[in-house]
A = this chain, B = another copy of it.
């Protein structure tokens, strides 16, 4: 039987979300530049600052594990961010640009909510209470961001329909 236990899976998944966060951090300024409304641009800028803290928290967890902070290519976030890029190209100057950007950003948030929820469950089970606490803080911020984006999305489609 393989030695790949929950601890190994936790470390692999930590590397996956570390890669994802770094790529999200690079994408957010482009999404902010593309945004049509001030609300949406500010939401992306604010989340860019938050993402920097999320990366730092992941680095703290690598330290708690006594492991170097390394990335593992995350195909999921590559695909999700690729869809965001397509929206920026295909809907450039179009009335539905912001609605499309919001949908892309919410897909990113949901990926992160799923990953941080899973990692938190595993950290708790592995008795890594400090890591679980750090993961929970980020999870709460990702959920908050998703709620803010939902509110802007409703406002955006209302404005377009008006």
Task: Give residues in A with beta carbon < 8 Å to B.
Answer: 1-6, 8-9, 12-13, 16, 74-80, 82-83, 86, 90-97, 99-100, 102-103, 106-107, 109-111, 113-115, 117-118, 121-122, 125, 150, 153-154, 157-158, 160-161
Contacts and interface: CB of A to CB of B under 8 A. Distances in A.
Nearest to A102: B118
A83 B73 CA distance: 10
A79 to B, nearest CB: 3
B95 A6 contact: yes
Residue picked from A4, A13, A93, most chain B C-beta under 10 Å: A4
Residues of A contacting B: mostly:
helix
A130 B111 CA distance: 28
Copies in the complex: 2
Contacts of A86: 75
A71 to B, nearest CB: 14
A125 B91 contact: no
Contact of A107 (B3, B9, B102, B115): B115
Contact of A111 (B3, B107, B160): B107
A6 to B, nearest CB: 5
Nearest to A2: B94
Contact of A83 (B74, B95, B106): B74
Contacts of A16: 83
A66 to B, nearest CB: 20
Contact of A122 (B93, B117, B157): B157
A17 to B, nearest CB: 11
